[in-house]
Amino acid sequence: MTIKQHILLIVFLLTCLAAKAQESQGTTPDGSIVSRQSSTINPIYIRATSIGLGITTLQDTYLSPETYKGWEARFSRETFHQTKLIQGKIWQQTYFQGNFGYTDNRVENNKTATALANWNYGWYYRQPLNRKFDVWVGAVADLNGGFTYNMRNGNNPVSLRAHVSIDASIIALWNLELNHRPLLLRYQANLPLIGLMFMPHYGQSYYEIFSVGERGGTIRCTTPFSSPSLRQMLSADYPIGKLTLRFTYVWDAQQANLNRIKSHIYSHIFMLGVVKRFQML
């Protein structure tokens, strides 16, 4: 399935879920059952820290027309916070991730190093469908920054990355059991809808932009047509001893076609983390 087909599927699901009727019960992001009739709400906090490793594919025609492939290491920190709005059905999410990638070209005579940081702040509305299955829909502020360094380029060895967008987001939670212990499956997809991206013109140096002041047209509006990107995560939370472990697969596709420059980073990452849950009295 292509990225555009993924995008159409996510848009279809969001449209359908917006018309669903509200139910009385549902699960939190750690699998706990909550009820909308509760008159007193003690906000729940769920925090997860994960690290992971995987493969990545990179192309940035500002640096080179070649495609580079290699490995990527990633760190993430997530916090879910239940608010008291609409009987506790509104939740906040903050999600930070940093990653470092190291890649080779196809003939293995050049390498790139990429360092990126991503911070999300989202608001979600919980749509419980039954006691075991929840769907959450929300909007996310998505901030991205970093760079790619090409180790053989002389004039333009670095490509800076800066992008901010508003994303549509969907989360599905399945509260299951495995060996008589709770197993929480979670799927999340973030789809950037509109934003701003820094992108130099093809062949333009950063000296011209920052020293000479030729900045015209380097800040461009992004849409799903000019920057068709999608981040998907599938995770499983399972208690082992006194710890709740999170096993996560991340499929991250970030791409853009602006100012005659094409860029993409496709990553497949497997992560392992620890989940902590506490409640404010």
- Tell me 156's DSSP state: -
The predicted model gives 183-207 an average pLDDT of 95
pLDDT in tens, 197-235: 999 999 899 999 999 989 999 999 999 999 999 999 999
Kindly tell me if the per-residue pLDDT of 32 is higher than 80. no
Output the pLDDT for position 182.
93
More confident residue, 88 or 174: 174
Q: What is each CA distance from 220 to 197, 202, 258, 268, in whole angstroms? A: 5, 14, 8, 28
Output the pLDDT for position 96.
97
Nearest alpha carbon to residue 199 among 165, 160, 155: 160
What percent of the chain shows pLDDT beyond 70? 84
Output the pLDDT for position 130.
83
Per DSSP (E only), the strands in 44-150 are 44-60, 64-82, 90-104, 111-128, 133-150
Q: How confident is the model at residue 19 (pLDDT cuts 50, 70, 90)?
A: very low
Pairing of strands 230-240, 219-222: unpaired
Output the pLDDT for position 35.
44
Distance of alpha carbon 25 from alpha carbon 54, whole angstroms: 37
Q: How confident is the model at residue 16 (pLDDT cuts 50, 70, 90)?
A: low
**What are the domain boundaries of the chain?**
3-279
pLDDT in tens, 73-123: 999 999 999 888 888 889 999 999 999 999 999 988 899 999 999 999 999
The predicted model gives 237-251 an average pLDDT of 95
Output the pLDDT for position 24.
41
Kindly tell me if the per-residue pLDDT of 196 is higher than 70. yes
Kindly tell me if the per-residue pLDDT of 250 is higher than 60. yes
Q: How confident is the model at residue 279 (pLDDT cuts 50, 70, 90)?
A: confident
Element spanning 184, H or E: strand 181-198
pLDDT in tens, 47-71: 999 999 999 999 999 999 999 999 9
Kindly tell me if the per-residue pLDDT of 238 is higher than 70. yes
Output the pLDDT for position 223.
96
Output the pLDDT for position 11.
53
What pTM was estimated for this model as a whole? 0.85
Kindly tell me if the per-residue pLDDT of 8 is higher than 90. no
Element spanning 11, H or E: helix 3-18
Q: What is the residue-averaged pLDDT of the chain?
A: 88
pLDDT in tens, 129-141: 888 899 999 999 9
Q: How confident is the model at residue 149 (pLDDT cuts 50, 70, 90)?
A: very high
As a CATH number, domain 3-279 is 2.40.128.100
